Amino acid sequence: MSSNQTWITEVSLLGFQVDPVLEYLLFGLFLLFYSLTMMGNGAILGLIWLDSRLHTPMYFFLSHLAVIDMSYASSTVPKMLANFVMQKKTMAFGPCILQTFLYLAFAATECMILVVMSYDRYVAICHPLRYTIIMSWRVCTGLATTCWVFSFLLSLVHITLILRLPFCGPRTINHFFCQIMSVFKLACADTRVNQVVLFAGSVCVLVGPLCLVLVSYTRILFAILKIQSGEGRKKAFSTCSSHLCVVGLFFGSAIVLYMTPKSSHSQEQRKVLSLFYSLFNPMLNPLIYSLRNAEVKGALRRVLWKQRSM
């Protein structure tokens, strides 16, 4: 290492390089989206907590999804909003690495939870008589705990490998947060091992889980088609279509972002994909589940009716 190299203590986040006036407009727009994300997911958590009819495995996992989405957005969006209105768009290197860790951990946890939710729907529709036995609270708690622990350990592996790298410049990240591939570019050493591990991790938490989800829903589709009652088919399709919308949005954007060649998308396109992945998707999830789920809408009406009658 040459003598004029210095270790990084802080990084500059370029964010979205637009006119200052447009920055304030984006600040207002993204602040609105972030507020909707927190309120929407918070409302889902509140309804599940307040309405005993939603104390089922399906809504137990949905509550985990809501917590993940709120945490996921909060790991990146507040700093992005601050940078829109601050002249000095910098971040200390330690918090930058922490942000990378949390972003990866929450993303992986969401992948795992979506797989567990698809398994829950598979058991409910394909094995309804054994549902309460298979999806006992002990099993549900174990599955949720496994999702969180596995995802945070996987993220810790990535961060451990990153911290072994020498970081001596450049100090600029062409992104609105410390996204892992942007952090790699700060290292003054070969990052091929890190990139291979990242790709392998992406296969583990994206391709594998997506295949399991597709297998579950293929089995579910055949089971739904065998239901004699039209009302039964409609209810099953309604519940499953909500989950499939969330799966499609999340896995689709994640695979394009992490598993396509670097040359396929410009850095600005990757920023937009990351924004969709970290802000728009968490905001849309509660809307999808509430608008397409009769039980959630029913719970909302019951809670509002109780409030009026008090």
Residues 6+ apart with CB under 8 A from 2: none
Q: Which domains does the chain have, with CATH numbers?
A: 10-309 (1.20.1070.10)
Give the alpha-carbon dihedral of 145, 147, 153, 159, to 10 degrees. Answer: -130
pLDDT, residue 175, reads: 85
- Nearest Cα to Cα of residue 114 among 75, 151, 169, 163: 151
Token pair in block for residue 128: 């309804």
pLDDT, residue 3, reads: 40
CB 194 within 8 Å of CB 158: yes
How many whole angstroms separate alpha carbon 175 and alpha carbon 277? 14
pLDDT, residue 270, reads: 76
Mean pLDDT per 10-residue segment, the chain (310 residues): 57 82 88 93 88 86 93 90 85 92 93 92 89 94 96 96 85 87 88 91 87 88 75 67 76 75 64 80 80 66 64
Token pair in block for residue 299: 């719970």
Token pair in block for residue 285: 């999830």
How many whole angstroms separate alpha carbon 310 and alpha carbon 300? 16
- Nearest Cα to Cα of residue 279 among 14, 12, 16: 16
HEC-encoded secondary structure of the chain = CCCCCCCCCEEEECCCCCCHHHHHHHHHHHHHHHHHHHHHHHHHHHHHHHCHHHCCHHHHHHHHHHHHHHHHHHCCHHHHHHHHHCCCCEEEHHHHHHHHHHHHHHHHHHHHHHHHHHHHHHHHHHCHHHHHHHCCHHHHHHHHHHHHHHHHHHHHHHHHHHHCCCECCCCEECCCCCCHHHHHCCECCCCHHHHHHHHHHHHHHHHHHHHHHHHHHHHHHHHHHCCCCHHHHHHHHHHHHHHHHHHHHHHHHHHHHHHCCHHHCCHHHHHHHHHHHHHHHHHHHHHHHHHCCHHHHHHHHHHHHHHHHC
- Walk across the sheet containing 90-92 and list its strands: 90-92, 10-13, 172-173
